[in-house]
Chain A
Amino acid sequence: MKITGYLSEFSLGEIFRFLEQGQKTGCLSIKPVETETLPIVPLKHHYIFFRLGQIVAATSELDHQGLQQLIEQRGFIHVTTIQRLLKLYPLSQPLGLLLKTQGALDSQQLQLLFKQQVLTPIPELFSLTEGWFKFDANHPLPLAEMTGLSAPPREVALAGLRLLRDWTPMMDKLPLPDSTMISLSEGQPPCRLTPVEWQVWEYVDKTVTLEGIAQALNLPVLEVQKICFRLMVAGLAEEIINISTESSPSSPTAPPHSAEESSGSLSQSFLTGVLSFLKVKAQPVG
């Protein structure tokens, strides 16, 4: 399965939500596309590896050398030493775990490496104004690039969107000021929120529009839209658009109706008749 597109069409946050919720395994590659504005992130390929919807590694090359070089740069172990170890113990598990099992690295060092490899660079990718993405579910996981640690994409996406300064490419993706938000998460949100995100979260499910939330919290409406977008990308909330016109025949918050309430039930003979009629139409002509 290969899924492709442009980040301007399907944003990185939405891709992360899709891969996490779909529990996907494979490689997400991102190729930045040059735009008129100066790039904040270097224009090189980025590869992010997912295992069952969790991020397990990130690299800028597919040469399987990235983690070893990071380990050496940190001054933990020389690459030559790692190579010698790999001759004795062929990789059948993530490299980080192998080195930990052999006593060459400890848990804290692995966490530092994971932070440098995944948690720091990926959020910066959210600043890309344009890029081509491809998700390849058939790409094997690179054990040599994996520490054995993983991160939920929603947490990484939240971090990335909090860092974002230029929201111009995201403006058409933000929830509308007169929309309300409903919760998709039962109880407490399953990820860490900032104090202001918590304040907005308190208004989810309360049929208050984003404009209303902004007024209540004394925040700019745009800021509330950004926060609500983050909650949506994290899979915590969904936007419900309100009918904005004043000539609406009923209240925007009117309760949902059923088919029977609105139009009455249809008779069995009607349903049988229409199915027979459509069956003829469904048959190939001639």
Chain B
Amino acid sequence: MEIMRIVITGPVGAGKSTFIRTISEIEPVDTDRKATDEVGSWKEKTTVAMDFGRLQFGPNVALHLYGTPGQERFDFMWEILIRKAHAFILLVSSHRPQDFRAARRILAFMRHRAKIPMVIGLSHADNPNAWPPEDIATALGYLSPHNRPPMVQVNALDQGSVAAAMMMLIETYARHQAEQLNWDAVKQ
């Protein structure tokens, strides 16, 4: 079975659970009491809440989506999720500048822990108080437009929008993997 594991992270209320619920083919699992299949194999039991969703697109191929715990509490579950992830999406509410600090914290944590491809998903971008994407990038610490991850507007309630964000992440992953393979070939 070939599985791509994607982590959906972001501050509380950014739309992580909705994002997973919108695209998942199974009823998303809230592991408030116990972990499910994939995670369960890493850690038998946990009391940490986490969303899990799955997309199976062939007999032996699937996408697994893991939502990080809602509260800003970086515990071992984060470590487990990140260590197994191929890529991640950071969801940020465009209209809540008070969340940018938490988003920045998460980003610093993720970048420090894992050199994996990522995309920033901007939710609530149609809100009248939404900040422009380039300003959100600055607030998150990306000062140069040439050196920042792809950013995409996401409506977590809309399947098409969520799928488009996922496509952007997978394309980013594919580019990253190709660059890595080229780099490995050069080194040999």
Contact = CB atoms under 8 A, between A and B. Distances in A.
A203 interface: no
A80 to B, nearest CB: 43
A18 B108 contact: no
B105 A273 contact: no
Most chain B Cβ neighbours within 10 Å, of A250, A257, A270, A283: A270
Contacts of B117: 259
Contact of B57 (A182, A249, A274, A282): A274
A266 B143 contact: no
Contact of B98 (A9, A256, A258): A9
Interface in B1-46: 2, 4-5, 23, 43
A279 B108 contact: no
B129 A275 contact: no
Interface in A204-252: 238-245, 247-250
Interface in B101-156: 101, 104-105, 108-109, 111-117, 129, 131-132, 134-135, 138-139, 141, 143
A2 B112 CA distance: 33
Given A1-B132, A275-B167, A258 B76 contact: no
Contacts of B74: 241-244
B61 A270 contact: yes
Given A273-B58, A277-B55, A10 B98 contact: yes
A128 B70 CA distance: 31
Interface string A250-286: 1000101111101101110011011101110111110
* Category for how many chain B residues contact A: 35 or more
Given A239-B105, A258-B115, A279 B76 contact: no
A259 B100 contact: no
A135 to B, nearest CB: 9
A262 B141 contact: no
Given A275-B167, A275-B171, A278-B166, A247 B76 contact: yes
Contact of B163 (A250, A262, A278): A278
B87 A259 contact: yes
A21 interface: yes
Nearest to B138: A22
Given A22-B135, A238-B141, A284-B160, A266 B4 contact: yes
B75 A256 contact: no
Contacts of B58: 273
Contact of B170 (A5, A239, A262, A275): A275
B173 A3 contact: no
A14 interface: yes
B176 A259 contact: yes
Contacts of A281: 23, 159-160, 163
Given A18-B135, A267-B2, A256 B115 contact: yes
A83 interface: no
Contacts of A278: 163-164, 166-167, 170
Given A1-B135, A257-B114, A270 B163 contact: no
Contacts of A185: none
A139 interface: no
A18 B176 CA distance: 29
Nearest to B99: A9
A14 B112 CA distance: 22
Contact of B112 (A9, A182, A248, A273): A182
A173 B101 contact: yes
A242 B79 CA distance: 10
B168 to A, nearest CB: 10
Interface in A32-53: none
Contact of A279 (B80, B84, B159, B167): B167
Contacts of A184: 141
Contacts of B167: 275, 278-279, 282
Given A242-B74, A262-B84, 13 more contacts: A4-B129, A14-B139, A249-B80, A257-B116, A262-B86, A263-B5, A263-B85, A266-B4, A270-B61, A271-B177, A273-B57, A274-B4, A274-B63
CB-based closest 6 A-B pairs = A9-B98, A281-B163, A277-B57, A282-B163, A22-B138, A10-B97
19 contacts: A5-B97, A10-B100, A18-B135, A18-B138, A21-B141, A182-B108, A238-B104, A241-B74, A242-B74, A243-B75, A243-B78, A256-B111, A258-B180, A259-B116, A260-B177, A265-B181, A267-B2, A271-B177, A278-B163
